[in-house]
Each structure stands twice: as C-alpha cells, then as structure tokens.
Amino acid sequence: MIFISIIKGIIVGVITAFVVPFICINGLSGLYGGLYNVFGSRWTYIAYLIAIIPTFGYVGFYFSKKSTLSNRHRWKVSAISVFIISIIANSVGLLIGYILVLGSLETVNVEEVVPFMLLLGTLLLPITIPLGKFI
C-alpha cells in the first residue's frame, strides 16, 4: 500500500511538473504582451521535474502513513514541500539555465548564486504556500 501511495505521489508530481511551468510561462508572457512561445524553455520543465517528483513521492509516502490530518498539519506539510520545491527548482533551474546559455559553469559564481536562491525561495513563501496547498 505504501508503494502505491509513493507511485501516486510521483504521478501527481510528474503532472504538476508539467502543468505549473506551463501556467507560469503563459501567465507571465500574457502579462508581457502576448504568447510568443506556448511551451517555454525546456530547462524550466527539467528543473521542476527534478524538484517536484521526489518531493511529491515523499509526500505520498507521508500521507499513506497518516489516516487523518488536521488542516493545520496539512498547511505545515504544504509549507515544507513548497519550500523544498522552490529552493531546488530555483537553484537547479538557474544552474541548468546558465549551462545552456553559457556552455559551462566556469564563469558563474555558484557559491553566491545558491544562497540567493535560498533567499528567493524564502521571500516567495507567502505566494507559494497557498498555491502549494491548492495543489
């Protein structure tokens, strides 16, 4: 039963990893004046896949262990999950983007980029936690 819950979490994670960047890219491009590229950059989807699939697999495992959860506990799980996803997606996505644009990480100061992504993930928590609870 636990294995099935983990697989369900991974399936939901794969679906979410394709839907969330699609919505974000199209929403932002709509704000900037039009849809020029419907599917966006491929590295965005890769970054979200790397971040969301293991997190949702673990959340599926966690929810299989608990029979009932209070609303407060669900908010805590949502906050922790979204924080982990935002940190991993931001840092991995930025590094993948640098590799695709520059060709390597030789000219990137990785020691300063990764703490900035931690700060960005923390600052975006008021926006991402309600979205994570919705998902």
Q: Cβ(61)–Cβ(1) under 8 Å?
A: no
pLDDT on residue 108: 77
pLDDT on residue 69: 76
- Listed as ranges, residues in the chain with pLDDT below 70 are 28-29, 34-43, 131-135
pLDDT on residue 81: 83
Q: Cβ(31)–Cβ(49) under 8 Å?
A: no
Q: Cβ(53)–Cβ(88) under 8 Å?
A: no
Spatial distance between the Cα atoms of 23 and 4, rounded to a whole number of angstroms: 28
Total domain count, the chain: 1
Two tokens, residue 23: 């919505």
Spatial distance between the Cα atoms of 56 and 16, rounded to a whole number of angstroms: 9
